[in-house]
């Protein structure tokens, strides 16, 4: 019918000090795999770097989208706090918060444009078409 798997218990010292035979065998396997793959790395041409740079730049898109999505609620909270500061007669601090929230929101929304500008500057510096 239903069978349980047998649970093996080991002492703490055995857990903290694993056998060196397993470690040596694993290290030898990893070294063999790295050695076999190093020839492919040596033969890589700079043409592949274009695809890698695009992948790295595209990898930041989800992070930028997350920051842009969070900027609206954060700016709303800051504007509400600024309104409260004005209500309790701290007008200078309230207007400063409003100004900083507005400037910060605009800059965050412009971050994809700034990233594209940096990408084009990098391309022109490297000499890509």
Q: Is residue 73 domain-shared with residue 129, that is, in the same domain?
A: yes
Q: Is residue 26 domain-shared with residue 74, that is, in the same domain?
A: no
**What is the pLDDT confidence band of residue 123, given thresholds at 50, 70 and 90?**
confident
Provide mean pLDDT across the span 28-51.
58
Number of domains composing the chain:
2
Q: Is residue 67 domain-shared with residue 119, that is, in the same domain?
A: yes
Tell me phi and psi for residue 26, to 5 degrees.
-65, -40
Tell me phi and psi for residue 95, to 5 degrees.
-70, -35
Q: Is residue 84 domain-shared with residue 123, that is, in the same domain?
A: yes
Of residues 16 and 81, more confidently modeled: 81
**Does some domain include residue 102?**
yes
pLDDT of residue 94: 96
CA-CA distance, 28 to 23, in Å (whole number)? 9
**Does some domain include residue 2?**
no
Q: Is the pLDDT of residue 28 over 80?
A: no
**Does some domain include residue 3?**
no
Q: Is residue 35 domain-shared with residue 87, that is, in the same domain?
A: no
Q: Do 105 and 68 touch, CB atoms closer than 8 A?
A: no
Q: Is residue 124 domain-shared with residue 85, that is, in the same domain?
A: yes
Q: Is residue 44 domain-shared with residue 65, that is, in the same domain?
A: no
pLDDT of residue 34: 58
Q: Is the pLDDT of residue 30 over 70?
A: no
Structure tokens at 50: 């274009």
Q: Is the pLDDT of residue 86 over 70?
A: yes
The lowest-confidence range among 17-26, 53-62, 107-116 is 17-26
**Does some domain include residue 97?**
yes
**Does some domain include residue 72?**
yes
pLDDT of residue 67: 92
Q: Is the pLDDT of residue 129 over 80?
A: no
CA-CA distance, 122 to 118, in Å (whole number)? 6
Q: Is residue 64 domain-shared with residue 121, that is, in the same domain?
A: yes
**Does some domain include residue 68?**
yes
Q: Is the pLDDT of residue 103 over 90?
A: yes
Neighbours of 86 (CB within 10 A): 16
Question: Domain range for residue 112?
Answer: 60-129
CA-CA distance, 24 to 52, in Å (whole number)? 34
């Amino acid at each position: 019918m239903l069978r349980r798997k047998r649970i093996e218990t080991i002492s703490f010292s055995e857990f903290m000090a694993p056998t060196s035979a397993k470690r040596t065998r694993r290290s030898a396997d990893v070294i063999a795999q790295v050695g076999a793959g190093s020839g492919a790395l040596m033969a890589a041409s700079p043409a592949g770097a274009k695809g890698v740079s695009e992948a790295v730049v595209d990898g930041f898109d989800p992070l930028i989208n997350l920051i842009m999505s969070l900027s609206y609620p954060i700016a709303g909270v800051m504007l509400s706090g600024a309104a409260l500061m004005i209500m309790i007669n701290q007008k200078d601090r309230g207007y400063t918060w409003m100004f900083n929230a507005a400037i910060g929101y605009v800059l965050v929304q412009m971050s994809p444009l700034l990233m594209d500008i940096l990408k084009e500057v990098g391309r022109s510096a490297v000499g890509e078409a």
